[in-house]
Each structure stands twice: as C-alpha cells, then as structure tokens.
A and B are shown apart, each in its own frame.
Chain A
Amino acid sequence: MVNVDALRGYAADLLEKGQVRAVIGYRRGTAGVLAQPCTIDEAGEAETLVWDPTCLNNLARYLVEDRQQQAAAQTRNKTPDGRPVAIVAKGCDSRAVAVLLQENYLKREDVVIIGVSCEGSGVIDPRKLAARPEGRWASRVDFAGADAFKVTVGGDETLIPARDLLADRCLECRAAAPALNDVLFGEVVTERGLDEPFRAVKAAQGATEDARWATWEHHFDRCLRCFACRAVCPMCYCPECVVDSTTFVNTPGTTAEEKATRIRWCERSASVSESALYHLTRAIHLAGRCIDCGECERVCPVNIPLRLLNTKLEMEAFEQFQYEAGRDFGQASLLSSFRDEDPNSFIR
C-alpha cells in the first residue's frame, strides 16, 4: 500500500530542505470525485497531497509546462530557479518522463521522481463509474487491494471489482509501477493478468476494412478539434503543432515571412478529412513516443478511442522493431534509427 502520509512527509521534506522548487502532485478536486493536479511550493501544503484511483492525470505534462515557463523567465532576463521539480509519478507518468529525458527536453537532474505504485490495479475510468447507478454521485474511490475499488456514495461504501472500473489503459498496462524513480512508494506488482497487452487494437484490427473505416469516419466526424487530446499529452510539447496551431511560435524575432509561410497541412475546419489528417499525423508523431498513459482518450469530451491509434503503432514498434517508448532514455528514437532486418516485404 502506498502510505500517503509518508508521501506527504517526503514531499514536505524536499520542500523544507529546499531541494526542490516545487512538488507536482494530486489533491482533492472540488468537482466530483476526481483528484486534480496541484503544484505545491511550500512544505505546509504537502498535507493536501493525495494518491488514489482518481489520480488520472499524467503529471509529466506539467514538467513540460514548467520548462516552458523556465524558458520564458530566461527570455525575460530573469534567472530561473535552477532547483529541480519533484513529480508524483505513476508507471506511465514515469515513462513519459523517460521520453522527455530521451528527447533532451529535461535533464535527469532537473526532476525528482516520486514514484507511486498502482497497487496492482490502476486508475478508474470516470465514464465507467458514471455509467453505474449513483456512480455520478460518488464522493470517494479508494484502492482496495489489486482486485477491487472501494467506492463511497453518500455514506455508503461498496466494493466494486477493479476490472469493472479500471481505465482501459490500465487493463492493458504492462508496467504498473514507475521503473524510473528517485523514491518509490508502494509495492511493485508485476503479474497483473488483467488483460493482454494490445487487446483492444487487436480486436479493432479484426474488423473488415470497410467496417474499420466506417468506425473511424464516425469518430473523425465527431471530433470537435478542441485539441484537448494534444493539450494533455506530455509528448505533444512542440512549440507549434505542425497540424494545427492553437499554440504557435510568434517571438519578436519571428519574421513576417515565417508567419506568412506556415504550412496549412490541414484546415481548422472540423471535418472528417481535416480531423483525420490531424489524428493520423499525431499518431505518427507519437510512434515510439507514446507511453500509453491514455490521457488523450480520457480527456476527449466525445470519447473518441484515440488510444487505439497510438497503441496500434506502439504495438507495431514493439513487435516489428522491439521498441518500447520510455523504457530506456538512452536509446535512439524509434524513427531516427533502423535495423537492416526491418520489414521490407511490404515494399515492391
């Protein structure tokens, strides 16, 4: 069991001793049952940290934010506080940190990883919870061993099989504890046997081509192009996204020419074709980088199964190229390396 008090104590200690600038973690939210991300700058606030199955966010996203702010401070000629930031990280979050390290976005000494184990289960899918009677009114969800969650609604506590509430990403997760960490709370549970890896992708692949397109056309058609999937992804930290710009580079040094010649690979219109271009590009851009935290899928307001696109390529990378994102931050990236024996038979 993760001892949350110990975790709070550890965080408080880091801040107390001035070893870190801040601790990024989770605290109770105000809206519904879900925990929410928080950044703690003072030891006293460490008391508010929580760790439970509603800690959904991949907090590595905030390391990206933090680096951007540090860089902005630098351009404003302020000397940034060079101390590291600490981050509470689940297995997938720590793999995200590993990819950020691999891509030189962070330096290892810039981050203190406070690992938390998923206790052999994982985090919940709020939609699965909401689909249950009274699920929307739940006020707490707690770990109850590897096989169940304890859900509190009003004053009543019910045990619900973990499998019924677990987020899909967690069902398929292969490493539910952070391998990359500076300290680890909770036990490492390796054998989970909830679901086989890539099950959903394999199932989706089983459909006929026309059926597959019908499904994806339906999804691309529904996409609002709110870009929440991108905004939440720790790997989509590009200063300007290639596929559509809601964040884009415009510094005092950006020339008129540069602004005038931005490529419109796809239009802002939320239509099947443009959304397809956006999602397919994003999937390719995440090949070998996506660590399957499932955040993109979780945040999508219209519930597009985005994970499938990423895990499809993750599966190919794993099966064809023996590549796993976030496994080793020293390895060359999937797409900037190759082997002589890479598949060739698809080429004439």
Chain B
Amino acid sequence: MSKRTGVFVCHCGKNIAATVDVKKVARELAKDDGVVFCEDYVYMCSDPGQGAVIDAIKENDLDGMVISCCSPTLHEKTFRDASELGGLSGFRCEIANIREQCSWVHKDPDEATDKAIKISRAAVRRVQRNEPLDPIGVPVTRRALVVGGGIAGIQTALDLADAGLDVILVEKQSTIGGNMLKLSETFPTLDCSQCILSPKMVAVSKNPRIRLLTESEVESVSGFVGNFRVRIKKKAQYVDPELCKLCDDCSQVCPVAVPNEYDEGLTNRRAIFIPFAQAIPASFTLDEAACLGLKPVVCGKCEEVCEAGAIDFDKRPTVFEEEVGAIVVATGYDLYGMDKLGEYGAGRYADVLDGLQFERLCSASGATEGHILRPSDHKVPKEIVFIQCSGSRDPENHCAWCSKICCMYTAKHATLYKHHVPDGQAYVFYIDIRSGGKGYEEFVQRSMEKDGVIYLRGRVSRVYEQGGKLRVLGVDTLSGRNVEIAADMVVLAQAMEPSKGTAEIAKTLKIGLGKDGFLAEAHPKLKPVESVTAGIYLAGAAQGPKDIPETVAQASAAASKVIALLSKEELHHSPTVAKVRDPYCTGCAMCVDACPYEAIGLVGGKAAVNEVLCQGCGSCVGVCVRAAIDVKNVSQLQIHEMISAVLAA
C-alpha cells in the first residue's frame, strides 16, 4: 500500500481555477491520510508541469501520485510517462478528472471545489492501493483478415499485401467490388466507376499475398489482438472459377429467371449467371436458392452443357479456421429500403427509383446499356424529379443522420441525365446542399448553371400517379410557393444505412455499434478507424456514410494501423486484468459463464484467468458472490475505499 502519495492540482490556466479553488483543494488534500506532498500548478501538462511531477517524486520519495486535472483520456498517458521518468511505476499515478467532470460543468465555486476535493480524494484512495504492474506481452500473428470486398476492403487488402502481409479477404457475394461496381460515373470528375475499380479488383486476384474468399462469411471469432482465431464459412461453390471459361453456355440453358440484385432488380438473371462482366473471381456462379434443385438435382442442364466441366453439384459448404493478428471490417452499406418511403411512391410505382437503380440505368453495362429509359414503358423520361434526403435527416420517421453523399450524387445524376437527355428537365428537391469536398461545390454549381437543373429548396409531401405521370407535390420554401410537377421519373436519394448483417458481424467480432447501427469507432476524433476492440479496425461506409475518396482514405488508414500493429514482435496488453483470490474461490463457475471473452476457465476446481484474453471488464467480479475475483487496480477494496472517501463528511 502506498503511504507517500503526492497530489498535484492543475489550474489548467483558468479552465479549472476559474471555478475550482485549486489552492483549497490542495490544502484539503494535504490533510488526508497518506498524502505527504500537495501542490497546485498552472499547467500540469506543460513541460515544467511534468518536470514538477518528476521532481516531486524524487524529492519526496513518493510512492503514489494523483494529478487532479482534465479527463484521463487526455493526459493519463502523459503523467504516467512522467511518473516513470521520476522512477515511479506509471500504474502508481492516477488522474482525478476535475475539469470535464467538475470545473466545466459547475458554476458555483464552493460546490465545484467541494466536488473536486471528493474526486481527488477518491483518486488518492485508489492510487494508494494500485499495484505497479508490467504490461503483458503477447506474440503476434502476422496476417490480417479483411471482411467485405467493396472498394474499402479492396484498398485495405492491397495496401496490406503491398506491405508484405498476408491477407484473407472475405466477401459474402460472389464477386468483390461492392456498391462501387454498380456505379456508372463518379463525382466530381465523372470518371467511369468500373474503369477505375476493375484494375484494383484484378490486382486483388493476382496478388499472391491475398487469399480471396468470395461467398464466404465469418462465423465466429475468438482470441484477441494479435492472435485472433476466425472461423470462416464458404458457401458451396458449384462453379469452379479456375475452370470456368466465361463462355455463357450454362446461363443460356438455365430455365430460371429471377431479378438481378446486381442490377438493382432492373433486369432478370438466371440461376447460373455472372454478376458483372468484370466480376472477380471471373467466373459464373450458381445461385442455390434460385436453382430448381440441387439436392437432388432437378434440372441439371447447366452441368450438361458445360464443356469445361466447371460445374459440380456435389460441392458442399466448407468451414475452416484461420489465425490472424488483425481484422479490418469493411462491410459497407445498403440503401434505406424503398418500402419504407411509401409517401414518395417508392415500391409502388415502377418509375420511382432509388439512386443505385438510376446508376444502373446510366451505366453502360446496365440493363439499358446506358440509356435512361423508364422501367415501366422504356420511354425516355422528359421530366425527372430528384428528391434528396429521402429517409435521411428525419429522426422522427426515418434516419436521423445525413447520408452525406446524396447531394453529390444527385447533382451527378441530374448532370448525367442532362447529358443523356439534353431536352429533358431535371428538378431537385433539397433541404440544403452539402458539398464540402474538393471540387464538389463547383460540381454542384455546374449542374445548376451549365446543365440547367432546377433546384427547389423544400420537401416533397407526396408523389402519386395520375394519367401516366408521377405527380410530385412539394413546396419551394424560397419562394414560398407550393409546387406540383408532373414527372416521368422520380429518383430518390435514399439514405445510406449499414449493410444488412452489420449488427450480426459486430456481435461476432465483439465490436460495438453506434446508435445509428453503423460500426462504432473507438473515439470519434482520435481513433476514427479503430473499433472498440483492440486489433479490429473499420473502413468504409460500414462505419458511416462516406464517398469513395473518403472510403479509400480510411481504408488505407486502417491498413496502416494494421501494418503498424503487426510490425511489432510482440504486443503489450493492459495488465489491469482479473485476478482470482484462490482460497476464496469455490469453483462455482459463475464468472466463467459471465466472462464475455471466455477468459476464465476452471483449473483444479478454481477459476483461472487467461490474462491474455482478459480485457479487465470485471463482469466476473460483478457476479462472484464470494468476491473471489478482482480486477487489478480497480479492486473491490479500492472501490470500497473510494466510496468511503467520497462520502466521508
């Protein structure tokens, strides 16, 4: 137990000192049991401040240190490092947060000072019983897993492979490429999406370090940073990509027709098909669900015609385990369901489309070979209405968030429309235009000025069909007029939402979700590519709506994090892990059941913690009736003493 604790009370300029009487805090703390040194100082985190810590430790033979200052998330490391320099274990230094949790949120100086004393006191009591711990070293598996093969996953995989790391890229669809593969041109430069994506996809397939697993999903993950064990399930692959010659003989004979999801349902496909000409792996694929029957074989025509012998109906799903040191999650987004926007006629009228459908209409590889035609009657729409923010920014009814890219792609769509149908008229309903980004604002301006797109600021209240036209009722808030447009086509800029299955993958990987369902980053500013679980990183639209440049940037950022992580010989894991007090443990295994990390087992009738797996959450502590288990440095004794200290009159 520490008996010589030092306390520094930081003024943080006026940030703390304006409300908290820091001198009084120091004076009071100096009277507490075990406190032998106590001072206030204007900026503790400054060089002289840190120097003062080092000196105080040395001069006063301190065996514990409390810094009453800002949130530990900011400077805990700073002061722990300073303590180490002073010759004191970093774990013997604790932060009392008297800024965020006190001076900034209270006005009354007396109350704030009183509370600051209590907070500091609790920290003193805690530090007095902190053990000086050494980090736990763990060896690293130098291989990474990337989940999701959109542009984010592709970029990450390529960057990682480039750095010499082995990569497993898991994609649940039969081709990589993700949503970007469906786009026609991309804003703001209007270069062809597939033209810039395909080379990367090919690079993936050619890279010997990348093991591409399409039609595969992660089933479970165990282990921890540096040493994950992943179970991957690969669907039965009835067409061998190595043998498939892309001759298309099979699909010709297939009697089945189902909507083609890769074409956003605008066209049909066979049960055996190729999603895109550029698909990687370059191979046909057999959709088991659509096929008339494989077990037993009902039709079997494709197998008969395949001269390459690439089709094998006897294939079964395979499950295998892989060890990886890090995981990047890039599972992307889906568009907000059309069925949820009935007020805009979505799902009801064939000519009310979503953004991706419109991309497919524009795309040369799409159903209409790049001609913008109405799905209902294949006529060229002469009047077209784009509705921005459909589903976005509407916390009451739909999604609370801004999908960020819709302003841009709507401008792009309108522009593309005008390029395809120069005599047509495009209207855009918007709430406001968010075109932050290099060249973005100019792009939007161009669509208005050069392409004569009419922008109406306001919401659309209703879309209904009348006389072969889609009547769009809205309001132009700038002029204050109600507007009614008889359109031939309506395109909804649907909100982006986390791709289907994001919640499941989050659960499997034990990473958190934000309120909106996107994957949660560890810190919104300082750790934007880290998930809350060490060793698992996030890239692309799975973490939040973003466009391609941002996606690629984040993908590369995630890759660089992984590269940094896996370049270490061994990882250091926080030593504040659970510790069993053997004589008290009866082996009831309640902690074993409660531990979310499977970090506890029974050995010889007593609980035993695997320190490497333990994350120090204390779930075990909370269930053990015998108090036979504690998390180091937040022991129950420490909490008890903190409670007593805080409440003592």
Contacts and interface: CB of A to CB of B under 8 A. Distances in A.
> Is there direct touching of A and B in the complex, by C-beta distance under 8 Å?
yes
Interface of A: 103-105, 237-240, 242, 249, 251, 253-254, 258, 261, 263-265, 285, 332-333, 335-337
B131 to A, nearest CB: 11
Contact of A335 (B581, B583, B590): B590
B584 A333 contact: no
3 smallest CB-CB distances across A and B, nearest first, come from A103-B588, A336-B593, A336-B594
A138 to B, nearest CB: 39
B626 A238 contact: yes
B308 interface: no
Nearest to A102: B588
A335 B626 contact: no
Contact of A249 (B1, B584, B592): B584
Given A265-B640, A336-B593, A336-B594, A239 B583 contact: yes
Interface residues of B, number: 23
Nearest to B585: A239
B593 A105 contact: no
Interface in B579-625: 581, 583-584, 586-594, 602, 605, 623, 625
Given A237-B586, A238-B584, A336 B637 contact: no
Count chain B CB atoms within 10 A of each CB in A105, A285, A335, A337 and give the residue with the most: A335
29 contacts: A103-B586, A103-B587, A103-B590, A104-B586, A104-B588, A105-B588, A238-B584, A238-B586, A239-B583, A239-B626, A240-B584, A242-B626, A249-B584, A254-B583, A258-B581, A261-B1, A263-B627, A263-B636, A263-B637, A263-B640, A265-B640, A332-B593, A333-B590, A333-B593, A335-B594, A336-B593, A336-B594, A336-B623, A337-B594
A242 B627 CA distance: 7
Nearest to A288: B590
Interface in B1-33: 1
B593 A239 contact: no
Contacts of A263: 627, 636-637, 640
A314 to B, nearest CB: 16
A254 B592 CA distance: 24
Contacts of A335: 590, 594, 623
Contacts of B602: 104
A238 B586 CA distance: 7
Given A239-B584, A335-B623, A104 B640 contact: no
B480 to A, nearest CB: 42
A33 to B, nearest CB: 36
Nearest to B640: A263
Interface string B507-548: 000000000000000000000000000000000000000000
Interface in B34-91: none
A9 B587 CA distance: 36
A249 B594 CA distance: 25
Contacts of B590: 103, 333, 335-336
A265 B142 CA distance: 48
Nearest to A261: B637
Contacts of B593: 332-333, 336-337
A239 B627 CA distance: 11
Contacts of B626: 238-240, 242
A239 B586 contact: yes
Nearest to B581: A258
A323 to B, nearest CB: 13
Contacts of A251: 583
Contacts of B637: 261, 263
Nearest to A333: B590
A243 to B, nearest CB: 10
B123 to A, nearest CB: 19
A104 B625 contact: no
Contacts of B1: 261
Contacts of A103: 586-590
A152 B637 CA distance: 56
A336 B625 CA distance: 11
Nearest to B588: A103
Contacts of A105: 586-588
A249 B623 contact: no
Nearest to B605: A104
A170 to B, nearest CB: 27
Contacts of B586: 103-105, 237-239
Contact of B625 (A238, A253, A261, A337): A238
B589 A104 contact: yes
Contacts of B589: 103-104
A261 B2 CA distance: 13
Nearest to A99: B588
B588 A253 contact: no
Contacts of A265: 640
Nearest to B602: A104
Given A242-B625, A332-B593, 18 more contacts: A103-B589, A104-B586, A104-B588, A104-B589, A238-B584, A238-B586, A239-B586, A242-B627, A258-B581, A261-B1, A263-B636, A263-B640, A333-B623, A335-B623, A336-B590, A336-B591, A336-B594, A337-B594
B527 to A, nearest CB: 28
Contacts of B587: 103-105
Nearest to A281: B625
A289 to B, nearest CB: 8
A107 to B, nearest CB: 10
B609 to A, nearest CB: 15
Nearest to A337: B593
Contacts of A104: 586-589, 602, 605
Residue of B581, B594, B625, B627 with most partner-chain A CB within 10 A:
B625
A255 B228 CA distance: 37
B623 A285 contact: no
Nearest to A332: B593
Contacts of B605: 104
Contacts of A258: 581
A176 B592 CA distance: 32
A99 to B, nearest CB: 10
B640 A285 contact: no
Contacts of A333: 588, 590, 593, 623
Contacts of A249: 583-584
Contacts of A254: 583
Contacts of A264: 640
A104 B626 CA distance: 15
A240 B623 CA distance: 16
Contacts of A242: 625-627
